[in-house]
A and B are shown apart, each in its own frame.
Chain A
Amino acid sequence: MLTLASKLKRDDGGKTGRASGASDSTHRISIRDRLLTKEVAELEAHLPSTCKASFPDEDKLHHFQLAVSPDEGYYQSGRFQFEIDVPEAYNMVPPKVRCLTRIWHPNITENGEICLSLLREHSIDGTGWAPTRTLKDVIWGLNSLFTDLLNFDDPLNIDAAEHHLRDKEDFRNKVQDYIKRSAR
């Protein structure tokens, strides 16, 4: 174990270190930005065919939109817009996602709140967010909300789930109706 005190004592008082012009905190690349550089660069290569990403500002890699157009199931023919915001504390915390399109879905409210365990900072069963997950996983999760992860048993929009339970055909019609009105 190194003893540093001798070195510490030597430069008591005027400690300057190697002061290079750009090494102050306004130029230091945050962990989030470092991760995003890699994850965004890899984004398009791993997008499912039903998804498209768009960046309104090329400098704001932490803010983008994802359009999901399911090609099977109840939500076929719809085009759903999600807004993804990656907070400063990423990847200790998950990205924040909202659904911008009005939808009739058991796991997405009509106001756009999404119930996806992957996006939870901590979920009891360990399927929540972890620093080992990436944007790729988030996109996959969102895409799956229309297929594998469509879950009527643990709903956020209870009315939609109960509707499906009562009358599947009517549920389908309402889904398609919402799509006609806002998801084209």
Chain B
Amino acid sequence: MADAEEPEKKRRRIEDVTEKMAVDGGHRDGGCDWDGRWNHVRKFLERPGPFTHPDFEPSTESLQFLLETCKILVIGAGGLGCELLKNLALSGFRLIHVVDMDTIDVSNLNRQFLFRPKDVGRPKAEVAADFINSRIPGCKVVPHYKKIQDFDDSFYRQFHIIVCGLDSIIARRWMNGMLISLLSFEDGVLEPSSIIPLIDGGTEGFKGNARVILPGMTACIDCTLELYPPQINFPMCTIASMPRLPEHCIEYARILQWPKEKPCRDTSLDGDNPEHIQWVFERAQERAAEFNITGVTYRLTQGVVKRIIPAVASTNAVIAAACATEVFKIATSAYIPLNNYLVFNDVDGLYTYTFEAERKENCSACSQVPQDLQFPSSAKLQEVLEYLTENASLQMKSPAITTTLEGKNKTLYLQSVKSIEERTRPNLCKTLKELGLSDGQELAVADITTPQTVLFKLNFTT
């Protein structure tokens, strides 16, 4: 058994070891790539191989593109986000932006490895960016402590590829909708240069999925909305009178008994306070006994009260790796990308499966190519209405027309609800310009002849 080292000797030994670490290269200034730094990436891009894309030509340009030009947006700097940033930065991507609206919580530290205890309370995006920028010379991660909805299309347009590590379906749909709105069509044909690929990753416990979405070309988030499992939410009537699950008993204690019995002098239930959880746990056990329900445990109580979905670091690692690989493949065109949906499950053993998710014919988000409507800005709304009813290929009966102005709906004319018809009738005599419509304005039209709302795009001829 060795003697404890003298502190000085130990300090010098550690210094030696850390100084010689090749990965740092000894350079702290950006842009200085030491010899062999990107050899691992060059192996994929500068020589042919059995798995490369049929159109692939080895060259040094791909690496240059990654290092100097390719702009990636990472959404989320949490479980998946940290892994993604690490993977992308170590693969040569340097122009990375990261968006996250959250701050660091102590429960994140077991897997969101870009954060340390001293960072608790700070914005995730900023701490993640700082860590990567100082750890990987040359990498320039730009953080945004914001919600994705705080940015408009001019922000998103600048990126070549967008990768998501989000924790909500609503956010995914929003991102999906945003990228679809950036698509441009020439004579009804999609312009490929307006497509921004979206790589989406999601995890929950031991399960995860990664998918490649080419908006306008492949299945989008809304096309496969039914694949998402329903979110658990317990009905009040069941909780109040007919509990069947241990979770119902816990919710009964949390929602009904706590406020009534106020065991802690008017404080609200704190999921991080063990005494509170213990109280809820005991009440829940009593109720469970009353209804012969098994399964109420302290751990379950914590989970239900804090709405915890347990996160597993390895699942995040796997899914982020799959996503980062796809970003690399698409950015370099060196390999055939995932086509297009990968599922992963290591609850029991290891399982993974890839399939091609298909576009939904009447997808509310991506199946609509807005049809062009040509009118002078001085045309009256009445003329548009007449066009919709008289045009041979439309032949609508009594179309309802709405639009969005300044983020809010504006009902231009709606015939089939009497009270609304009366109030919007004056709009028929107003010109499109007077109504506040501009060139490129999107109009939503619904009619008895259309199964769904049809989108039109106004093109002003004058």
A contact residues vs B (CB 8 Å cutoff): 1-13, 15-18, 20-31, 33-38, 40-45, 53-55, 58-62, 89, 92, 107, 113, 115, 117, 120-124, 128, 131, 154-156, 158
Contacts and interface: CB of A to CB of B under 8 A. Distances in A.
Contact of A27 (B401, B405, B447): B405
A45 B416 contact: yes
A29 B416 contact: no
User: Size class of B's contact patch?
Assistant: 35 or more
B237 A8 contact: no
A43 B190 CA distance: 35
Interface stretch (B6-14, B120-128, B325-333, B384-392): B325-333
Interface in B362-418: 364-365, 400-411, 414-418
A41 B173 contact: no
B441 A155 contact: no
Nearest to A151: B237
Contacts of A154: 237-238, 241-242
A8 B337 CA distance: 15
Contact of A92 (B170, B193, B333, B440): B170
Nearest to B368: A34
A17 B182 contact: yes
Given A58-B411, A92-B170, A122 B233 contact: yes
Interface in B427-441: 437-441
Given A21-B439, A59-B408, A89-B170, A6 B333 contact: yes
A2 B192 contact: yes
B264 interface: no
Nearest to B398: A41
Contacts of A6: 333
B101 interface: no
Interface string B223-241: 0011000111101111011
Contact of B177 (A30, A37, A131): A30
A121 B127 CA distance: 35
Interface of B: 53, 55, 61-62, 65, 69-70, 152-154, 157-158, 160-161, 169-170, 173, 177-178, 181-182, 184, 191-195, 197, 214, 217, 222, 225-226, 230-233, 235-238, 240-242, 244, 330-333, 336-337, 339, 364-365, 400-411, 414-420, 423-424, 437-442, 444-448, 450, 452-453, 455, 458
Contact of A58 (B182, B195, B423, B439): B423
Nearest to B62: A5
Contacts of A124: 238, 244
B419 A54 contact: yes
A37 B446 contact: yes
12 contacts: A1-B339, A16-B157, A17-B191, A22-B440, A25-B407, A31-B177, A59-B409, A61-B402, A61-B411, A115-B236, A117-B235, A123-B235
Given A6-B333, A43-B416, 18 more contacts: A3-B53, A12-B65, A21-B438, A22-B442, A22-B458, A25-B153, A25-B178, A27-B403, A28-B178, A29-B455, A35-B453, A44-B417, A53-B417, A58-B424, A61-B411, A131-B225, A131-B226, A156-B237
B364 A34 contact: yes
Nearest to B451: A38
B365 A156 contact: no
A31 B173 contact: yes
B441 A27 contact: yes
Nearest to A11: B193
A42 B453 CA distance: 11
Given A24-B153, A25-B178, A31-B173, A4 B407 contact: no
Contacts of B339: 1
B48 to A, nearest CB: 16
Contacts of B177: 28, 30-31
A8 B242 contact: no
B331 A26 contact: no
A12 B194 CA distance: 12
B405 A55 contact: no
Contacts of A121: 230-231, 233
Contact of A122 (B169, B232, B444): B232
A71 B458 CA distance: 47
Which 5 pairs show the lowest CB-CB distances between chains A and B?
Answer: A20-B440, A5-B333, A38-B446, A41-B400, A122-B230
A145 B329 CA distance: 55
Contacts of A92: 169-170, 173, 225
B364 A4 contact: no
A22 B460 CA distance: 12
B404 A30 contact: yes
A13 B226 CA distance: 37
Given A4-B192, A37-B444, A58-B420, A26 B406 contact: yes
Contacts of A38: 400, 446, 450, 452-453
Contacts of B232: 122
Contacts of B424: 58
A29 B444 contact: yes
A58 to B, nearest CB: 4
